[in-house]
Amino acid sequence: DAGVIQSPRHEVTEMGQEVTLRCKPISGHDYLFWYRQTMMRGLELLIYFNNNVPIDDSGMPEDRFSAKMPNASFSTLKIQPSEPRDSAVYFCASSWTSGGATDTQYFGPGTRLTVL
Amino acid sequence: GDSVTQMEGPVTLSEEAFLTINCTYTATGYPSLFWYVQYPGEGLQLLLKATKADDKGSNKGFEATYRKETTSFHLEKGSVQVSDSAVYFCALSWGGYSTLTFGKGTMLLVSP
């Protein structure tokens, strides 16, 4: 399997612009997670989906952030409008949970976002 | 709420030294415990895990034992290599929901 795929790997944009980050989870996985990593705040869970349905978006910092999962093989995280404080590395992860048992999360390589 | 506390880094060692990175957790009940590793420029990857008390997880020479009496899951390796230089994250999770609660990470730097 190719693992979790994220695109783009690097994104540089100007304040006020819309940014869309993309993620393709591992085939067959039923959970998808979006994280943000910064030096100051560490690794933060933004939102996660189960079977394409958003379960908990309490980590989304503000209304400028939105996430969708239109099907089992694709998810987007959108920031509109972007601000310099959104600069971070954004990770997507997926996992497969069977019968309520916790399983491993597999992380993508991340998207490094820089907002000027 | 649940939380994970890791020792502050960076941890700086010479090659072949013994490594310990401390991790303690706060949770009601008995979560599953994990160590993830992040190499420079990459995403996190699972290093090892333990799902119940007294379980020992091991991988690539690293090991950690789930100690419920001390609510700890310390990571150890007998002889580190330069290639082990990375950031190590301790995390916990609950059955039924796959969310992970991460510690802040500990950077390990190994010099030749």
CB A105, CB A94: distance < 8 Å? yes
Q: What is the pLDDT of residue A99?
A: 56
Least confident window among A101-115, B31-45, B72-86: A101-115
Q: What is the DSSP string of B59-97?
A: ETTEEEE-BTTTTB--EEESS--GGG-EEEEEEEEETTE
Q: Which of B94, B98, B104 sits opposite A42 (nearest CB)?
A: B104
Q: Mean pLDDT of residues grouped by 10 in chain A (116 residues)?
A: 91 97 95 93 92 93 94 97 96 80 81 97
Task: Report residue B29's pLDDT band, with 50, 70 and 90 as the boundaries.
Answer: confident
Q: What is the pLDDT of residue A41?
A: 87
Those of residues 36-75 in A touching chain B at CB distance below 8 A are 42-43, 45, 48, 56
- The whole-number average pLDDT for the span B46-74 is 95
Interface membership of A107 toward B (CB under 8 Å): yes
Residue A51, phi-psi category: left (phi > 0), alpha (psi -120 to 50), beta (remainder): left
Q: What is the pLDDT of residue B94?
A: 76
Give the SS3 label for residue A57: coil
Chain B residues touching A33 at Cβ < 8 A:
98-99
Interface membership of B57 toward A (CB under 8 Å): no
Q: What is the pLDDT of residue B30?
A: 82
Flag if A48 and B98 touch (Cβ within 8 Å). Answer: yes
- The whole-number average pLDDT for the span B57-85 is 96
Mean pLDDT of chain B: 92
By C-alpha distance, the chain A residue nearest B89 is A43
Identity of the amino acid at A70? P
Checking if the pLDDT of B26 tops 80, the result is: yes
Nearest to B9 by CA among B86, B67, B68: B86
- The whole-number average pLDDT for the span B78-102 is 88
- The whole-number average pLDDT for the span B70-87 is 97
